[in-house]
């Protein structure tokens, strides 16, 4: 089913674009953390490929695509070179990077869920794999950078929720035998737009009812993710 949605060349090109923008976000965090060039490359690779690698290992798609397609490995290195030399300029277009990151989120939550179903997982597990594909690399990035994963922080704009919505739309379409290029594209677009709206209006997930925590929002949290 997965391979029927797009032609192989289109699918591969979309994957590389998503990998590239995820790698940019990882490399930028490494620069902010004052990592050396090797650390920047590692964080770029992990951010870009971590979610897909985790999915492929879980569903048994081995060896994972990250190790069988040279383009998947080299694209984060290209992002590393760009950020290493031009990080001030990249920082200045952070809004544009965030838009492409949102597009990558929408794409990967859909392709991740579809591929998981192709490999025999049930609908709920496939949706979970779609979420893991989209956000797994970011979680690994934050852990390696010694930060609380943005996914778990209350002071970050919604990130996982759009991915959950996109992946859920996919499995519902599978359930009712309605998954095709149009409906999968609609799921990508929905996740993408939800993420953009969350960034624009700073939508955040609710915290515990009647909480007593004195935790405060960190400076600059409005540009983060959750």
In a domain, 33, yes or no: yes
Give the Cα separation of 6 and 184 in Å (integer): 10
Mean pLDDT, all residues of the chain: 90
C-alpha pair distances (Å), 209 with each of 111, 122, 157, 166, 213 = 35, 33, 19, 27, 11
User: Does residue 155 register a pLDDT over 90?
Assistant: no
Which pLDDT does position 216 carry in this prediction? 62
Taking only the tens place, the pLDDT of each residue in 8-31 is 888 888 899 999 999 999 999 999
Task: List b or e across 27-49, with b for residues whose CB sees 16 or more CB atoms inside 10 angstroms.
Answer: bbbbbeeebeeebbbbbbbbbbb
Only one residue has tokens 């990035």, namely: 141
**Residue 209 burial (CB < 10 Å; 0-12/13-18/19+)?**
exposed
In a domain, 86, yes or no: yes
Which pLDDT does position 1 carry in this prediction? 56
Q: 76 is in which domain, residue-wise?
A: 2-207
Total domains present in the chain? 1
Q: By percentage, how much of the chain surpasses pLDDT 70?
A: 91
**What phi, psi does 145 have (nearest 5°)?**
-85, 10
User: Does residue 225 register a pLDDT over 60?
Assistant: no
**Residue 17 burial (CB < 10 Å; 0-12/13-18/19+)?**
middle
Only one residue has tokens 């590692």, namely: 42
Output the DSSP codes for 87-140: HHHHHHTHHHHHHHHHHHHHHHHHHHHHHHHHTT--HHHHHHHHHHHHHHHHHH
In a domain, 8, yes or no: yes
Which pLDDT does position 218 carry in this prediction? 57
In a domain, 219, yes or no: no
* Nearest Cα to Cα of residue 54 among 6, 115, 95, 4: 115
Query: Given pLDDT bands bounded at 50, 70 and 90, which one contains residue 214?
Result: low
Cβ-contact 132, 55 below 8 angstroms: yes
Give the Cα separation of 207 and 215 in Å (integer): 12
In a domain, 142, yes or no: yes
* Nearest Cα to Cα of residue 102 among 166, 32, 174: 166
In a domain, 215, yes or no: no
In a domain, 102, yes or no: yes
In a domain, 140, yes or no: yes
Which pLDDT does position 5 carry in this prediction? 61
């Amino acid at each position: 089913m997965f391979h029927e949605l797009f032609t192989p060349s289109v699918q591969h090109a979309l994957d590389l674009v998503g990998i590239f923008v995820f790698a940019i976000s990882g490399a930028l965090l490494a620069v902010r953390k004052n990592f050396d060039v090797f650390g920047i490359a590692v964080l770029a690779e992990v951010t870009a490929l971590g979610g897909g690698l985790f999915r492929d290992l879980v569903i048994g798609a081995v060896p994972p695509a990250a190790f069988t397609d040279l383009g998947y490995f080299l694209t984060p290195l290209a992002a590393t070179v760009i950020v290493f030399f031009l990080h001030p300029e990249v920082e200045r277009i952070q809004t544009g990077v965030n838009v492409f990151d949102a597009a990558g989120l929408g794409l990967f939550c859909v392709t991740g869920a579809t591929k998981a179903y192709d490999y025999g997982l049930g609908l709920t597990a496939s949706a979970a794999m779609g979420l893991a594909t989209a956000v797994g690399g970011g979680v690994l990035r934050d852990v390696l950078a010694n930060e609380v994963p943005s996914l778990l922080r209350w002071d970050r704009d919604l990130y996982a929720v759009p991915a959950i919505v996109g992946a859920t739309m996919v499995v519902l379409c599978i359930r009712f035998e309605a998954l095709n290029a149009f409906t999968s594209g609609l799921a990508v677009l929905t996740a993408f737009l939800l993420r953009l709206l969350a960034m624009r209006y700073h939508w955040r997930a609710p915290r515990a009812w009647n909480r007593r925590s004195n935790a405060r929002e960190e400076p600059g949290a409005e540009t983060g993710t959750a």
